[in-house]
Chains A and B, each alone.
Chain A
Amino acid sequence: MKKIIYLFMLGILMACSNKPQPINYGNDNCDFCEMTIVSKAFAAQAVSQKGKQYKYDAIECMVNHQLQQDYNMAVYLVANFEQPGVMIDVKTAGFVINDSIKSPMGGNLAAFKKESDVVNKGGEGIFSWEELQSNFLNNEPVITSY
């Protein structure tokens, strides 16, 4: 009997997992701007403490959503520009803002692995996750949502 109760509790705990669900490209809509998510090189996603899934078509959407709603998420993932479709944790990512990058929401923003040459090269327009957020806070946001 006890075993069954343990199993049941385990089941409940599993149901609350913060594991991110894979993005269904071409079908899922962005939780911030409502556009359909199609580009594997720019997508982003987050999972809240309670396990609610948020998906975004662009990293700029995730940052703006985060700054406006002030939610505290358990997981933040962004697409690795060099390996489209592979999601990496924001802590292991470096962010690049450059006019040559055409991200879906006009932010010219993409994420790379920290070890990547693009990030290590240094220079202007390269940010860590924390720097990226403060950069968005300081600049007037291009897009808003209510």
Chain B
Amino acid sequence: MCRFFLFIIFVFASVVSRAQEIEVCKTCEVKTIQAAVDMARDGDILKIKSGIYKEHDISIIDKSISIIGEGLPVIDAQMKGTALSIRAENFSVEGLKIINVGRSHTSDFAGILVSNSKNFELKNNRLDKVFFGILLERASEGIILGNKITSNAKSQSTSGNGVHIWKSEKITVKNNQVIGLRDGIYLEFVNNSEVIDNLCKDNLRYGLHFMFSDHDLYKGNVFENNGAGVAVMYSKFIDMHNNKFRKNWGSASYGLLLKEINDSELRNNIFEDNTIAISADNTNRINYIENNFRNNGYAVRIRGAVYDNNFQRNNFLYNSFDIAYTGKLNNNKFSNNYWSGYSGYDLDKNGIGDVPFRPVSLFSYLVNKTPEAIVLLRSTFIDLLDFSEKVSPIFTPANLIDDQPLMKRIQW
């Protein structure tokens, strides 16, 4: 009896451990990827040789397999829907090129669709002319690494997002490039996830977009020339570190749009050449520490219902307006920042200016009320108005001051 059991275990073990390799190419025994997937068992490796595979809706269901492209094989979905659709645990997709994903107003076709899945890796794939690039639904513990996703959202009537993650958790999005989609990376109902070292460029709407997502981190990303750099909305506990927000330029363009977000931190970010570097609306308990604001139209525009925001040790360098403000000070703090517009003195030579700095000029208050007034920027009369407001503030919040402005730029 015992021997019989041992035999069973032995047979079982040998079946499991015999991970098969299946090669797919035009001259191989297996000619299509779908056929290879259908043959494969858990643990198998599918090697796709270079060539063009005109397939769409390749579906992988409940199979733990690795798909490895050798020599960048091309899956051409011929505008007919999703290229690769996966619902499984423990799988990986690597080194594929996916092109021509179908477009639709009502279905979300994607280059790679992963749903109800766990523990997976999507690595070094190239996606071009896609509708949605990588689409994750109800997935967890996944890694999206080193993919390059490009499309032409701007010239299309419908467009999708580069990396779109919905109702998922513990996802890492790292080292990807997303160029020319609707939103570069979009997270909706995604918790405990990380977005690290990505480049999001020339996207129609946002480089990175959070909706209803909590406890997430994004750092080391570059957001350039998007409709707006990053939008963080209806979320809390978001860490934003070491990102670059550049060249988000246009009448309604932002580097970073914060709307209804709580308990978050911005540290060591660089904002350069944006129309509005940060627009904050309805944000509570946010720390802005050691960020650089350089050459922006507005560095920070505070709109209504903003409480307990703390601006400390930031560099405000050559912005047209440092702060634009609506309403009362509301317990927000500005201290120990460096302001390039500061013209005070430091007689006791302790590095801190002896007179406080008022970052809200009368003109920025006026422009906030009447945007058309912007044509008067740099006129002598406005300088005069600003000066008189500085001496005796009437319109701008009187207590909105940095009472310890630094004399030298902060190095961080």
Contact = CB atoms under 8 A, between A and B. Distances in A.
Interface of A: 25-26, 29, 33-36, 38, 40-41, 81-82, 84-85, 102, 105-106, 142-146
Nearest to A40: B105
Interface stretch (B37-45, B114-122, B227-235): B227-235
Interface string B222-259: 00000110010110000000000000000010000101
B109 to A, nearest CB: 13
Given A34-B281, A36-B206, 18 more contacts: A26-B227, A29-B252, A34-B257, A36-B227, A38-B159, A38-B205, A41-B105, A41-B106, A81-B106, A82-B106, A84-B105, A85-B157, A102-B166, A105-B211, A106-B189, A144-B282, A146-B281, A146-B282
B204 interface: yes
B351 interface: no
B231 A35 contact: yes
B56 to A, nearest CB: 21
A84 B412 CA distance: 49
B108 interface: yes
Contacts of B166: 102
Contacts of A146: 281-282, 304-305
A143 B231 contact: no
B188 A106 contact: yes
Contact of B233 (A33, A40, A81): A33
Contacts of A25: 157
A146 B307 CA distance: 13
Contacts of A85: 105, 157
Contacts of A34: 257, 259, 281
Cβ-closest 9 pairs across A and B: A84-B105, A146-B304, A146-B305, A36-B205, A41-B105, A29-B252, A36-B227, A26-B204, A38-B182
B124 to A, nearest CB: 28
What band does the interface of chain B fall in when counting residues whose beta carbon is under 8 Å from A?
A: 20 to 34
Among A35, A40, A144, A145, the most chain B Cβ lie within 10 Å of the Cβ of A35
A65 B205 CA distance: 22
8 contacts: A33-B233, A34-B259, A35-B205, A35-B231, A36-B205, A41-B105, A82-B106, A106-B189
B154 interface: yes
Contact of A40 (B157, B182, B260): B157
Nearest to A28: B252
Contacts of A142: 212, 234
Contacts of B204: 26, 36, 38
B60 to A, nearest CB: 22
B158 interface: yes
Nearest to A41: B105
B304 A33 contact: no
A71 to B, nearest CB: 18
Contacts of B231: 35
Among A33, A38, A82, the most chain B Cβ lie within 10 Å of the Cβ of A38
Contacts of A35: 205, 231, 233
Contacts of B206: 36
